[in-house]
Amino acid sequence: MFDLLLKSTDAIIIGGAADIGKIDENIFGEGKMTKTQAKRLEDLTLNKIFGQALVESLEKKRDDWVAMMDHPNAEVCVPEVPNPEYGKQDGPVIKDIKKMIIIKVLRPDRFIAAVKNFVSRVLGEKTLNTGDLDLMKIVEKESSAKSPLLLVSAPGFDASYKVD
């Protein structure tokens, strides 16, 4: 299951059961999903944690899925995909992992926020709270022309909002 989160979205192809069916790229409305995203959703239906339950959720909760696609913070309103095994319930961590996988496929722009929410719920809010940096104070009092300031960021992290 975690391999789905670690793989590139270009590589979410899962072996397994026979083809459950095509997912129409216009299921959420014209232009809301690409052919590639529809294919990746189809691939998820072959995974045992999603299966036919994903297709059923897409059909039964269509309005919720459309709302998620349009929501500026999609990670907070991902429709639940029930456990594909009749009578079994997913635990809260599995539900959250499924939501992150769905966000990675349908709204990759919100994936980092979804992971942050997951880590915060699982490990606690303090894990992510590193404190605020006062860049103005650092620039004025801790750096000079002789000791320049070096900003380091992780790949995929946009720190520009802290510089403005």
pLDDT value at residue 4: 59
Domain that holds residue 153: 133-163
Looking at the fold, whether 36 and 99 belong to one and the same domain comes out as yes
Looking at the fold, whether 94 and 23 belong to one and the same domain comes out as yes
Give the count of domains, the chain. 2
Looking at the fold, whether 32 and 91 belong to one and the same domain comes out as yes
Question: Mean pLDDT in each 10-residue stretch from start to end of the chain (164 residues)?
Answer: 55 43 73 85 86 88 92 93 85 91 92 90 76 76 76 69 62
Looking at the fold, whether 118 and 158 belong to one and the same domain comes out as no
DSSP string covering 51-87, please?
HHHHHHHHHHTHHHHHHHHH-TTGGGSPPP---SSTT
Looking at the fold, whether 56 and 118 belong to one and the same domain comes out as yes
In this structure, what token pair is assigned to residue 147?
Answer: 């000791």
Looking at the fold, whether 85 and 153 belong to one and the same domain comes out as no
